[in-house]
Amino acid sequence: MQTIYIDILLCINLIINFLLLCAAAFYTHEDVSVKRLLLGAAIGAIGSLTILLPEMPFPVSAVIKAAIGAATIFAAFGLRRLRRLIKLYAVFLIVTFFFGGVVAAMWFLFTPKQLWVKNSVVYLNISPIRLILFSVICYGAFRLFFTLSGQYKTGNDVCILTIKRGENEVRVPARIDTGNSLKEPFSQCPVIVIGRETARAVTPEQVAEYETVTTLRYRTEISGVRFVPFTSVGGEGILPCFKAEEVYINNKRCEQTVYIALCSEERIRGDLRALVPQQVTSEI
């Protein structure tokens, strides 16, 4: 009979789930705080207590494991569009299978007595230092694999965009769009396009008020909102925008004046959350 130490079980799964979530965030360019990742990892760690239950049929344990995984993703990444959550969950599963393959290799090659699997939960009775070292190696191997295989986009067309306003900050992965030639009509300053919900924390009150008012007569009474006309394959229109207080590209401050235009989240497709004109990055 295998003796299971609850503290070791929770610690192991907390560390492993945290690194799995970090790997999923890395691959999907998802910007998320360490606190949220730890919260998700904690949910997954609590779910590992199913190892204490009687042996369950594989379909039952698989369903329970899938539900715990979904709760872990939701806790770590918060409220997202359903399509985005599904993609994050799929990537999390891929990362988990990758880690599981490494564990299986250890089992067949070295058959360590400290490793035990029950109800789809892995228990490793090893020292914390060896555990941390092993987990970091697995995480590094994942990043190296996807970077070398070209599955992770690290080209010059991707950057980390940071917008600051007062004490508030938004930090998201963005695409450097050579086709984005938008300029604020009066100042002719470049315009960064970002989803209105993504930029909610740094959006001035008057602009946010404009976004929530649907009656045109009242919209005309709201001051401080600039507009940028645009033309795209899907049609043309205008986007409300505001002058950014501080903008950073890959942690480098942008010294030129930049405006932030708000659009619906659906207009920015893919994993990235904003479109940055090349003019902004070329002067940094």
Residue 185 belongs to a domain with what CATH number? 2.40.70
Indicate if the pLDDT at residue 247 is higher than 90: yes
CA atoms within 13 A on the CB side of 248: 13
**Is residue 1 assigned to a domain?**
no
Indicate if the pLDDT at residue 129 is higher than 90: no
Could you say which DSSP state residue 51 is in?
A: G
- 144 and 31, same structural domain? yes
Cα separation, 183 vs 258, in Å, equals 9
**Is residue 97 assigned to a domain?**
yes
Residue 252, beta-bridge partner list: 249
To the nearest 10 degrees (0 to 180), the angle between helices 82-110 and 128-148 is 120
Which of 112, 130, 148 marks a domain boundary? 148
- 46 and 18, same structural domain? yes
- 69 and 128, same structural domain? yes
- 226 and 140, same structural domain? no
Model pLDDT, residue 38: 92
- 128 and 16, same structural domain? yes
Residue 239, φ and ψ in degrees, nearest 5: -120, 130
- 195 and 254, same structural domain? yes
Strand ranges, E, within the chain: 115-118, 121-124, 158-165, 168-177, 191-195, 226-232, 235-243, 246-249, 252-253, 259-263, 274-277
- Flag the least confident range among 14-23, 58-67, 82-91, 133-142: 133-142
Structural domain count of the chain: 2
**Is residue 153 assigned to a domain?**
no
Using the Cα atoms of residue 187, residue 189, residue 193 and residue 198 in order, give the sign of their dihedral.
negative
**Is residue 171 assigned to a domain?**
yes
Out of 11-25, 171-185, 192-206, 224-238, the most confident range is: 192-206
- 93 and 187, same structural domain? no
Cα separation, 56 vs 279, in Å, equals 59
Residue 54, φ and ψ in degrees, nearest 5: -60, 155
- 165 and 53, same structural domain? no
Q: What residue numbers bound the domain in which 198 lies?
A: 158-282
**pLDDT tens-digit profile of 192-218?**
999 888 998 999 887 776 655 444 444
Model pLDDT, residue 216: 42
- Flag the least confident range among 83-87, 92-96, 137-141, 197-201: 137-141
